[in-house]
Amino acid sequence: MLPFPQKIAFLLFAAVTLALGFWGFYRLYLRIRRGAADPEPRFNHLPRRFFYALITTLTQQRTFKKRPTIGLFHSFIFYGFIFYGLVNLVDAAEGFLPISSGQISFSFSPPALNQAFLYTLITVLTTYSFLADVLSFLVLLGVVALVIRRFALPSRADFRFNLRTLLHKDVQQEKITRDSLIVSTFILFHVGSRAIGAGARIAAEGPAYHEPFATLLSHLFTSANAEAFRIFGYWGALGSVLAFLAYFPYTKHIHIFMAPAKYFVEREPTYGVLPPVALNLEADNEIEDEAHAKTIGAARLEDLAWPRLLDAYACIQCNRCQDVCPATATGKSLSPAALEINKRMELNDLAAAQSPFAFTAAPFEKDAPSPHPLLKFALTPEAAWACTTCGACMEVCPTQNEQMLDIIDIRRNQVMIEGEFPSQLQSAFRGMERAQNPWGINHEQRLAWADGLNVKTTDENPTPDVLYWVGCAASYDPQAQKTARAFVELLTHAEVNFAVLGKKECCTGDSARRAGNEYLYRQLADKNVSTLNTVQPKLIVASCPHCMNSIGHEYKQIGGDYKVLHHTEYLETLVANKQLTPTPSEATITYHDPCYLGRHNGVYEAPRNLLNILSNSTPELPRNKENSFCCGAGGAQFWKEEEEGNERISDNRFREAQQTLAPATGEKVLAVGCPFCKSMLDSTPTKADSEDIVIKDVAELLLEGVRRSKGLTAIPQKSEPSTPPISQAVPEPTVATVTATPSPTAEILPVELPQTPAPSAERKKWQPKAATASHPAENPAATIPPPSPPQATQTASQSSATQIAAPTPTPERKKWQPKTSTPSPEQTTVPTQVSEIAPIEDAAAAPEHVPASAANQNPSPAPPPPERKKWQPKSTTPVTTTQTSSPSPEESNASTDPSPTRKKWTPKKPS
């Protein structure tokens, strides 16, 4: 027991510190509630949420993930902290009551206490004392181990950031380090004081063999000084924890409380489903509605949904999300960890505007706007546009933070409110708006990929068992067309009753939505939902995971609920049912997990099961399944140049495949299940050094196996196009000569594509601000980086149109060099993305919208980027689902209208 004066002092001290602590936690709540209302339910199914949060917290299963050894030391601290809540209460009682839990003795002896109850009580107290003693040792061990790791071992690099990453001023001033030292010192002092007090008690009262750690410490004390050290231990343990309460809401270790709260309000949709945005599609000018505009995306902290302000305090600052981020791994400025840390530092700065001792809320906590935009302290514009939306950061986060959704909201605000986005995306937006595909190729050629195949549309076969969703990539990209044709032939071999939508199908809007253009996404998605609700398909099978994700999950937000499978899942069932019987090959096959198939939708085993049938040698890539590394195409990256960094994301991934397949002899295959992955990996510069590695879709490999089993060898290719000659399609064309760097294995012939005047001004559509026209000269050394829509580099020519000899192979990619802030005359390139020369049927409709990460080289320095105007969705032409027999003049010109000159994107400087 404490002396009476110390009891009074302790009670007064406890009253003051508890008041400050509770006030700090309340202000923490006020800051979190400043976030916007979340469009998704966070408090439904309360029993399930409660048990999920409880089990996830107590098992520490997400903390053990990826770093099991570090997770073990962290669990020592966590379990010690949880149990120390009880220990502190019992220790506090010992200071005021004549009890001693350590010696299991009582100064009172109730006469009614029977022997059985007394025995049970002694057992409970013995167990309690043993656990308190052991956990004291484990907590001290865990803290010392983590401090050594953070400050002394090479692993301290885990807590560093890329030099390009924007860091809050408090991070730059080493406040994270200071906070870590303060908290570590507190834990060591708090738990150490308790251990010292327990050791001093044993020295004074006698041995307690159920407390081995305290017994060991008891040898440090004598009977003369034991009582003084016991009182020191009491005040050191309980006084420090009470004093720490006032600081606790501002420290990184607030995640001990916020992480369970985050588990409780977890999102129910998968990582691949973005939160909906309320849009008034009937308004003439949605963006000019100022009241509504405030709800679109996020420009400041309070624009983020409140669970994502909770993220900032739930963050452990472990940087695991940074470890798996493709952008961070390739030297770009994006760091998901820095995003969350910067948010917390800014929130704490806003709280610091008011002293915690004043018991008055800060202006931000009382609904005043935050002073700084997110793009000024949380992340840079380059970082916001470097995200591939692969979801790796959300999957690995121990507290289930939603970093990717912050970035999507920032993009929404930049595109739909500020009109600030990479200029290359203008072409993709215009293509989706005019031609209903980001390539911008004439919509009338949507079914040209099926020439020579017996493919029926839903008009010809209104009740198919399977509706094959072809997607834009397989409709217009020659490489993806191989997958579509292989899948159709497999369905034919299996005698499946299937159909396609044909010209009724349009882009799902995935790229538009991930780029922040929610309005354009809704235009496309609403049209598709209307079409599918009319067709009422029994089962939709998609060969593009992005289409699968949008139709199967995101369309539910707007009234489209369909059963959707990836083509590898459906092919697996056909093989299992003996409808397809492939023969294996001798090839060595490794498989790359597409982010939108695996991590976002959990499809891991179906493609592997097929590949295990097709080959006896299927080594796994080191980063596979939920740990897979992105190809670099997601998040609309396919349609723009990569942000400044040390290397391409696709190069990083392909080198992993190289190393995995290096020991193999014979045929080497990198299998994929996504057309964008195939395009990125097949056209990445590193691929030029590995001509022995072939990249194929799982469907192509399965078709080869089926044809082997039937004694067939040649796989039929696309027949000659049925489109009219160029001269008939576009009278008296103006010609732009198309050149490309020769491939080492094939000759690339010059191709001349027609151009037509701009569309009639009678039907107004959104137009980006016109850039100064330029005509880059031919340059055989032009750099041509990854993705591969059918596009060619254009240079002006005054000669007439010449005949296109044949579909041309992929041009050679030269080694990519990261962007520099001040390009030298030798580096004045304007990246645009190329992979395949357009086949003849697309020549009459030269693609206007292409990915822009490869380039022509201009002998003169590139002009500055065009001023970005606020994006205006088209409003004069309503979204319809009717199919016209022939394209309108404007739609016909959608693929021939010359796209604006692409210029290197420079983020808008904050005013």
pLDDT score at 22 = 92
Q: Rounded mean pLDDT of 252-273?
A: 92
pLDDT score at 573 = 96
pLDDT score at 426 = 93
3-state secondary structure of 296: coil
Q: Do the Cβ atoms of 399 and 66 come closer than 8 Å?
A: no
Residue 216 has pLDDT above 60, yes or no: yes
- Confidence bin at 143 (pLDDT 50/70/90): very high
Task: From residue 433, give the alpha-carbon distance in Å to each of 510, 761, 874.
Answer: 13, 16, 8
* Tokens 């590139």 belong to residue: 862
Same domain? For 534 and 655 the reply is yes
Q: Do the Cβ atoms of 550 and 509 come closer than 8 Å?
A: yes
In the chain, DSSP finds a helix count (H) and a strand count (E) of 33, 15
pLDDT score at 481 = 95
Q: Rounded mean pLDDT of 825-853?
A: 35
Q: What percent of the chain has pLDDT over 70?
A: 75
Higher pLDDT: 878 or 524? It is 524
Within a domain: 229: yes
Q: Rounded mean pLDDT of 861-870?
A: 41
Q: Do the Cβ atoms of 450 and 901 come closer than 8 Å?
A: no
Residue 415 carries which DSSP code?
Answer: I
Q: Do the Cβ atoms of 187 and 77 come closer than 8 Å?
A: yes
Residue 809 has pLDDT above 50, yes or no: no
CA gap 391, 546 in Å, rounded: 13
Within a domain: 888: no
Residue 753 has pLDDT above 50, yes or no: no
- Confidence bin at 281 (pLDDT 50/70/90): low
Same domain? For 590 and 628 the reply is yes
Q: Identify the top-confidence range among 101-105, 180-184, 260-264, 878-882.
A: 260-264
- Confidence bin at 102 (pLDDT 50/70/90): low
pLDDT score at 111 = 53
Split into its structural domains, the chain has a count of: 3
Within a domain: 215: yes
Residue 93 has pLDDT above 90, yes or no: no
pLDDT score at 595 = 96
Same domain? For 237 and 275 the reply is no
Same domain? For 106 and 215 the reply is yes
pLDDT score at 711 = 85
Alpha-carbon dihedral 322, 325, 328, 333, rounded to 10 degrees: -90
Q: Single out the residue of 680, 811, 836, 681 nearest to residue 746, CA to CA.
A: 811
* Tokens 């160029």 belong to residue: 726
The dihedral region occupied by 66, where left means phi > 0, alpha psi between -120 and 50, and beta the remainder, is left
Alpha-carbon dihedral 454, 460, 463, 467, rounded to 10 degrees: 50
Predicted confidence (pLDDT) per residue in 177-197, tens digit: 899 899 999 999 999 999 999
Higher pLDDT: 67 or 696? It is 696
Higher pLDDT: 835 or 294? It is 294
CA gap 583, 589 in Å, rounded: 15
CA gap 361, 371 in Å, rounded: 16
Within a domain: 757: no
- Confidence bin at 824 (pLDDT 50/70/90): very low
Q: Do the Cβ atoms of 676 and 713 come closer than 8 Å?
A: no
Same domain? For 102 and 199 the reply is yes
Pick the range with the lowest mean pLDDT from 535-539, 737-741, 894-898.
737-741
Predicted confidence (pLDDT) per residue in 288-323, tens digit: 444 444 578 999 999 999 999 999 999 999 999 999
Question: How does 723-752 read in b/e, with b if 16+ C-beta sit within 10 Å?
Answer: beebeebbeebbbbbbbbbeeeeeebbbbb
| Sheet architecture: strand order including 498-500 | 498-500, 466-469, 540-542, 564-566
* Helix (H), strand (E) at residue 344: helix 336-351
CATH number, domain at 411? Answer: 1.10.1060
Within a domain: 134: yes
Range of the domain at 478: 424-709
Domain end (from 202, 223, 250): 250
- Confidence bin at 110 (pLDDT 50/70/90): low
CA gap 24, 9 in Å, rounded: 23
Angle, vertex CA 764, rays to CA 763 and CA 769, nearest 5: 145
Domain end (from 686, 709, 732): 709
Task: From residue 385, give the alpha-carbon distance in Å to each of 408, 422, 547, 628, 816.
Answer: 9, 8, 21, 21, 19
Within a domain: 604: yes
Packing angle of the helix pair 675-683, 649-661 (nearest 10 deg): 80
Within a domain: 107: yes
Same domain? For 651 and 605 the reply is yes
Q: Single out the residue of 514, 475, 485, 660 nearest to residue 595, CA to CA.
A: 514
Amino acid at the residue 884: T
pTM: 0.77
Higher pLDDT: 744 or 359? It is 359
pLDDT score at 253 = 87
* Tokens matching residue 305: 């949904």
Residue 656 has pLDDT above 70, yes or no: yes
- Confidence bin at 109 (pLDDT 50/70/90): low
Task: From residue 762, give the alpha-carbon distance in Å to each of 285, 890, 894.
Answer: 19, 10, 15
Within a domain: 695: yes
Predicted confidence (pLDDT) per residue in 111-125, tens digit: 555 677 778 888 888
Same domain? For 582 and 608 the reply is yes
- Confidence bin at 205 (pLDDT 50/70/90): confident
Q: How many CB atoms lie within 10 A of CB 337?
A: 26
pLDDT score at 209 = 83
Task: From residue 239, give the alpha-carbon distance in Å to each of 8, 16, 554, 828.
Answer: 13, 12, 53, 65
pLDDT score at 464 = 95
pLDDT score at 482 = 95
Q: Do the Cβ atoms of 679 and 477 come closer than 8 Å?
A: yes
Q: Rounded mean pLDDT of 50-71?
A: 91
pLDDT score at 99 = 61
Q: Rounded mean pLDDT of 473-483?
A: 94
SS3 sequence of 761-800: CCCCCCCCCCCCCCCCCCCCCCCCCCCCCECCEEEECCCC
Q: Rounded mean pLDDT of 804-833?
A: 37
- Confidence bin at 283 (pLDDT 50/70/90): low
Residue 17 has pLDDT above 60, yes or no: yes
Q: For the range 6-11, what are the long-range contacts, defined as Cβ-Cβ under 8 Å and sequence gap of 24 or more?
A: 6/95, 6/231, 6/235, 7/95, 7/96, 10/95, 10/235, 10/238, 10/239
Higher pLDDT: 669 or 876? It is 669
Pick the range with the lowest mean pLDDT from 646-655, 663-672, 886-895.
886-895
Report the mean per-residue pLDDT for the chain.
79
Same domain? For 236 and 382 the reply is no
Residue 760 has pLDDT above 80, yes or no: no
Alpha-carbon dihedral 762, 766, 767, 769, rounded to 10 degrees: 130
Q: Single out the residue of 245, 412, 263, 258 nearest to residue 344, CA to CA.
A: 258
Q: Single out the residue of 490, 345, 321, 329 nearest to residue 400, CA to CA.
A: 321
Domain end (from 418, 451, 477): 418
Same domain? For 412 and 428 the reply is no
* Helix (H), strand (E) at residue 182: helix 175-205
Same domain? For 87 and 206 the reply is yes
Same domain? For 311 and 378 the reply is yes
Residue 441 has pLDDT above 60, yes or no: yes
- Confidence bin at 713 (pLDDT 50/70/90): low
Pick the range with the lowest mean pLDDT from 104-118, 244-258, 353-367.
104-118
Q: Outline where 211-294 has alpha helix (H).
A: 212-218, 226-234, 240-247, 255-264, 290-293
pLDDT score at 7 = 85
Higher pLDDT: 781 or 137? It is 137
User: What values do phi and psi take at 734, rounded to 5?
Assistant: -90, 135
Same domain? For 531 and 602 the reply is yes
